[in-house]
Amino acid sequence: MPAFDYDIAIIGGGAAGLSVAAGASRLGARTLLVEREPKLGGDCLHYGCVPSKTLIATAQARQVMAGAERYGLAPVALPPVDFARVRERIASVVADIQRHDSVERFCSLGAEVRFGQAQFIDEHTAEVDDRRVSAAKWVIATGSRAKIPPVPGLALTPHLTNREIFSLERLPERLVVLGGGPVAVELAQAFRRLGSQVEVVQRSGRILTRDDADMAAVVQAALETEGVRLHLGTELVRVQVEGGSVGVAFTQAGQERTVSGDALLVALGRTPNVEGLGLEAAGVAYDAKGIKVDARLRATQKHIFACGDVTGAWQFTHAAGYEAGVVVANAVLRLPRKADYTWMPWCTYTDPALGGVGLTETQARKAGVAFRVVEEHFADNDKARAEGRPEGRVKLLLGSGGKPLGVHVAGAGAGELLSEWAVALAGGVSLARLAGIVHPYPSRGETAKTLAGRLMGETLFSPTVKKALHYVFGLKGRACGQEGDGN
């Protein structure tokens, strides 16, 4: 067997790469981690999940202050936002988390970290800043970046992506957002709450097209109520600078229109980071969507794995962490573990938030799966009413035999509520068991118990059960009104 420098080498120090490096080194594998950026952490830490959720929290705080009268308080006069202070807070949160992703920590685990560009020379060897290293197993976890479409004029016009939006010197007075996916709508709402005039230009006739239309409508209504201007069903024509402003021309219902702003945010999806890796020299197949992998996350070279955004599959940090575990099982432990995305949850952190786990109605219909929908509205939940946030609902898709196919939540704290459903569905917890679990009162989590209890009640309180109890125990029935009179 050839002598390699490392048992396993990972290219990419983001969520997926860091998880593989930590797992492999702790299991005793001689591990190398290569990152081309000057710091570990990847897009999520520096330009994605962490800064965006920090910004969203700041915007949420301002929104609550602006709505003080809704809670029986005196109105609050809010001064304009100093974005430099917001930017400083974002940077401080990133720096605090960065300590967990430090070189020192990974060295303490036994993993060597090198900074630089890695390029394959052959299927087992790569060059890292003019030094060749070899490994028995390789993992490509280089992530993705914002996709910049070939819209006329866009490449020549100053624009922002998620890499720049969190480090602005000042708050844009007018912000134009291209896109209607999670990144686009999260940031559109956050900047509107901070005081920007926000225009969203979306190709589809609605936002958040991954989710069911009825659930996405809950978020869309909130955005429009808060003053985000949505231009839906559009086709981009051109982007240009007009007198110091950025102008975006598009057609809508056959008419050409233009919106302009001080800043332009491009949030039109992601593209995998595969350039400069020398994948051809390693015999690794890829396309515009990412590196091609099998169910065990192996590339076309079976000793080379890929995980995280670079595969173009589930572009979430939690998905990257899950895939890293699959890679470690296969590459280090040599267990034939396959990735299973059946119960992979997702959430868009707007307010109200929107997320799901399992099949959507659209997916179920496309797959030809029979189902029915059962819903529990937050307007009927005591905690939601006490908080003054009754909008939204929980939607459960039930297949044959009452088997849950998917759960979707639109409302405040949707991401937290989904955690219980993700555990229940992935763990095979029955609806009967879920109905019997005691939840703290009042809480939005009670919606799970209420919904499951209602389904169990369809059987428990059926006419057949009533007749049986009448026969066995001599129960006398209703004490008020008549059977079937609705009283």
Fold matches, 6-40+102-146+271-331 and 346-463: no
Structural fold of domain 6-40+102-146+271-331: FAD/NAD(P)-binding domain (3.50.50)
The confidence score (pLDDT) of residue 38 equals 96
Structural fold of domain 346-463: Enolase-like; domain 1 (3.30.390)
The confidence score (pLDDT) of residue 486 equals 45
Which tens digit of pLDDT belongs to each residue from 188-224? 999 999 999 999 999 999 999 999 999 999 999 999 9
Domain residue extents for the chain:
6-40+102-146+271-331, 165-269, 346-463
Out of 3.90.1150.10, 3.30.565.10, 3.50.50.60, 1.10.1060.10, select the CATH number for domain 165-269: 3.50.50.60
The confidence score (pLDDT) of residue 487 equals 43
Global pTM value: 0.94
The confidence score (pLDDT) of residue 456 equals 85
The stretches in the chain having pLDDT less than 50 are 485-487
299 vs 282: CA distance, rounded Å: 10
